[in-house]
Structure 1
Amino acid sequence: MSHAANAPYRSAPTETTGMPSGIPFIIGNEAAERFSFYGMKTILAVFMAQYLMTSAGTPNYYTDSEAREWVAWFVASAYFFPVIGAFIADAFLGKYRTIMLLSMVYCLGHAALACIDLPPAILQVTFEPKSWLIAGLFLVAVGSGGIKPCVSAHVGDQFGEANKHLLTRVFGWFYFSINFGSFFSTLLTPWLLKKYGPGIAFGLPGILMALATLVFWLGRKRYIHIPAKGWAFVRETFSRDGLRAIGGLVSIYVFVAVFWALYDQTGSAWVLQAAQMNCDFAGIVWLESQIQAINPLLILIYIPIFSYLIYPFVGRFITLTPLRKIGAGLFLTVAAFSISALAQAKIDAAQEAFRAQVAPMVASDSIDFAKTTDKLRSQERNATAQSIEKLLAEAKPA
């Protein structure tokens, strides 16, 4: 059945040494999709803590800790649904149809987020902004998470034995497109939120996701469509050998999970931390959400530096395996979060010192205010009494 569904398309790579013709469409799709995801995620914590309103136009903000918690749940969901998306693609729909279907869900999620900024008259007869927010985040998590394992695997499907040597180059472009889209979105959407509000700030990523879906669809006749394996895949996956293979990966993913749990604080805790700091740098006052642009910018800069200078030089003395590179990166991650913790400790200490300094002044002002209020009330009572006496005197017969 799955073979018949994929009949109009090629189901096996051609024996060519050149670049597969569908690759530009996949790369373009990835750049636009990553713009949409990171553009939305970049402003999420700040929007929740500073911009969320009710349908009546009154503030309905989350606290900083609540905003961090919601962002964490959203990211966790976005990384849970890849398991579901991969299973659907491999067992039932194939990668192309799974990507197309869940990309439409993804677009609906962005549309729901843009509806947060509908006119109050419309919001009052539909849903509260907070309801649009939760619905949008759920749909984006399903869509973005579901396509995540399929797109990169779809890249690999385009290559055969004759041109598989080009895979490294293509995945380099693929990774570049991710950070290219991420960099520009993390600079742009915080500014749009501040300048034009959440409707435009959430709407533009939605437009980019619609564009990503269109670009991917335009390349459909150029792709290699590997058919889904059906229930045979399900039986193989949940067989004793399949479960044993999955279990063998658990020890690796424990460390990976710790890293990502820390890394994703850069999109919530670090953003809210930046709101308490001086963001004036290079003569520009940056928005707190824009600090996230540093990561993709440094990746774009460091990819050629490490690939052509640092790795070849270090490789003369040490064999650089992928695991060693990952290990070095994890140690640097510890250093980065230690610096963040020290910065937060200084912020907290400064706030405590400020409160200790201001508290006596507030107490003194409160006492003075109370005395002034009592004095005014006394004067008011005296004036009222005098007015009554005057009226009574005038009312007496002569």
Structure 2
Amino acid sequence: MTDKTWAGHPSGLSTLFFTEMWERFSYYGMRAILVLAMVAAVESGGMGMDDRTATAVYGIYTAGVYLLSLPGGWIADRLLGQRQAVWYGGILIASGHFTMALPLEPTFFVGMLLIVLGTGLLKPNISAMVGQLYAGDMGARRDAGFSLFYMGINIGSFFGQLICGFLGEKVGWHYGFGAAGVFMALGLVQYRRTGMRLGDVGLHVASSGDASRDARERQRGWTIVWIGMTLLLAVMLAALSGTMALDAIAIASAGVYVIVGGAGMFFLYVILFGGLDLAERKRVGVIAVFFVAAAVFWSGFEQAGSSFNLFADRYTDRMIFGWEMPASWLQSVNPMFIILLAPLFATLWVQLGKRNMDPSIPAKFSLGLVQMGLGFLVLYFASIYVVQGEKVLPTWLCLTYLLHTTGELCLSPVGLSAVTKLAPKRYVGQMMGTWFMGASLGNLIGGLIAGHFGEDNVAEMPARFMTVFLTTAGFGVLLALFIAPIRNLAGKTEAPGP
């Protein structure tokens, strides 16, 4: 590893910062127009889906992006190394966006599948590599590094939603999808050209210390990968031939149970049979608690691309001097707030840490969930005007996004850092995958919830916003009651603080 620094952090952070920035440009740029393209009339280039089906497809897609993080982490840990996993993941993502740009319905879903596979490889491993840059540093500087990394995510998100949103809504949906692929390709070029800054971070697979055992595990691993690729190829061919007709709502509902059951079994396996000592088992238990908290948080936060996007399109007055702003542009408010506030939060955690006043990780999670709930309370009041037949100003959504942003900054970058601190060394990639599995579960639940905010349920909109407020904020308060036990389980990875 080089001794050079970048903004006071390891120089390798710049490589990962810009790679993730362009990947998030492509992801959020495509996400900004996904539901709008699916519900748009066929005559205008859309797919003519109803709200419940479109938001369920959206939930499956966004859930799949994070769900594949667990096998993606495993592939990096056992077969490729994190450096190569990020590279091949980026290639799949770019290929998926270019495939979606083709004006054909079957290739639309094939492209989504490629993006899901690529992000599953890239997302957990690039975050794990950030953690490796701070090996031996478990303090506030590490959290500040993750906050800076998180700011890069949101710079990409901000511009991706503006550019892809404008092209998609004003020029053509497929132009927006194609632009996402172009910028992912730029991210790959940058990653390759500046990789030397990472030193040996992410180059090697994890080792048990037994070379023959590792070789057998790699052989079995590649066999599993090839079987999986064969099955996925069959799915893609079925989609291309038009022979596969699936019920998105039923798949999303079943997926919730599958993820809950799968995550539960995985945590039990690692705790009981993972060869861990008592302290490591306790820390894995803490990660399991954070998994549940993340699922609750993201089920609300990910309404941005579904129900909030439709709310902006149908019930928000977007006229500016006679020109109607694209509905997708309002999604860029969240990353704009993060760009502005992330440095302040990073500085805040460092300053509080110097005074031994930095809130504990579960306290930050609790704060994040309560603020998430308050954002839905804002839309509860806005929806009362909608029920009366009025359009509301964009300021309602902006205030909701502000509250969701401050909640996100309390929970998401802190959660990424916490997992890399708490995870047993041999399971870092897989534990990072479980963090994204929590996001996956939240996305599935969020997609199912979003279908109930459609045009056929306008009268019920205030009650539904109130229900989400009570659920998310209530869970945040419940978590606050268990801060002390959670900190005791986490052990010495937690700095002193409330």
Common fold: TM-score over 0.5: yes
The CA deviation string for residues 319-368 of structure 1, in whole angstroms up to 9 with x for no partner, is: 533332321221111111122244345424539xxx9xxxxxxxxxxxxx
- Structure 1 partner of 2:110: 135
| Equivalent residue number for residue 228 of structure 1 | 205
Q: SS state of the match for residue 206, structure 2?
A: coil
Q: Structure 1 21/40 Cα, relative in aligned 2: closer, same or farther at 3 Å?
A: same
Deviates more, 1:321-330 or 1:172-181: 321-330
Aligned equivalents of 2:144, 2:333: Cα separation in 1 = 24
2:39 equivalent to 1:49: yes
Task: Give the deviation of 1:136 after TM superposition.
Answer: 1.0
The one of 303, 326, 339 equivalent to 2:365 is 326
- Residue 301 of structure 2: which of 254, 263, 271 is its match? 263
Contact kept, 8 Å, 1:111 with 1:136, in 2: the verdict is yes
Residue 149 (structure 2) aligns with: 174
Deviations 1:369-397 (A, max 9, x none): xxxxxxxxxxxxxxxxxxxxxxxxxxxxx
Cα 1:86–1:285, aligned 2, differ >3 Å: closer, same or farther? Answer: same
Mapped contact 2:148–2:342 kept (Cα < 8 A): no
Alignment of 1:378-393 (within 5 A): none
Q: Which residue in the other structure is 2:85 paired with?
A: 98
Shift of 1:208: 0.5
Q: Post-superposition shift, 1:221? A: 3.5
Partner of 2:244: none
User: What is the one-letter code of the residue matched to 1:46?
Assistant: L
Specify the SS of the correspondent of 1:213: helix
- Taking a change above 3 Å as real, the CA distance of residues 244 and 299 of structure 1, as seen in their structure-2 partners, is same
Aligned to 1:107: 94
**1:43 & 1:308 partners in 2: Cα distance?**
34
Contact 1:279 1:286 in 2 (8 A): no
CA contact (8 A) 1:106 1:209 kept: yes
Question: Which residue of 1 is the match for residue 71 of structure 2?
Answer: 84
Deviation, structure 1 residue 278: 3.1
* Partners of 2:309 and 2:137 in 1: CA distance: 47
Question: Could you tell me how far apart the structure 1 residues matched to 2:274 and 2:356 are?
Answer: 43
The Cα offsets for residues 91-143 of structure 1, whole Å up to 9 and x where unpaired, read as 11100111111211111111111112xxxxxxxxxxxx221111111111111
Partner of 2:205, secondary structure, is: coil
> Aligned ranges for residues 2-81 of structure 1 at < 5 Å?
13=1, 16=3, 18=5, 20-50=10-40, 52=42, 60-81=47-68
Q: Tell me if the contact between 2:141 and 2:350 (Cα under 8 Å) persists in the aligned partners.
A: no
Unaligned runs of 5+ in 1: 1-12, 117-128, 356-398
Distance apart, 1:21 and its partner CA = 4.5
| CA drift at 1:39 | 0.4
8 Å contact from structure 2 (residues 38, 49) kept in 1? yes
Structure 1 SS opposite 2:49 = coil
SS at 1:279's partner residue? coil
Counterpart Cα distance in 2 of 1:163 and 1:182: 28
- Counterpart pick for 1:350 among 389, 394, 405: 389
Instruction: Let me know the Cα RMSD of the aligned residues.
Output: 3.5
Q: Secondary structure at the match of 1:178?
A: helix
* Paired residues, number: 324
Distance change (3 Å), C-alpha of 1:279 and 1:308: farther
Quick one: structure 1 residues 311 and 341, their matched pair in 2 at CA, closer, same or farther if it must change by over 3 Å? farther
CA contact (8 A) 1:28 1:215 kept: yes
Cα distance, 1:217–1:165 mapped onto 2, change above 3 Å: farther
Q: State which of 277, 283, 308 in structure 1 corresponds to 2:315.
A: 277
Task: Report the CA distance shift for 1:328/1:163 in structure 2 as closer, same or farther (over 3 A).
Answer: closer
Return the offset for 1:205: 0.7
- Normalising by the residue count of structure 2, what TM-score does the alignment of the two structures yield? 0.58
Distance 1:163 1:306 in 2: 17
Change (3 A) 1:58 1:21: closer
Q: Deviations along 1:144-172, whole A, 9 cap, x unmatched?
A: 13211111222233455699996455434
Query: Any gaps of 5 or more consecutive residues in structure 2?
Result: 208-212, 219-268, 391-455, 457-498
Match of 2:68, SS state, is helix
Specify the structure having the higher radius of gyration (Cα): 1
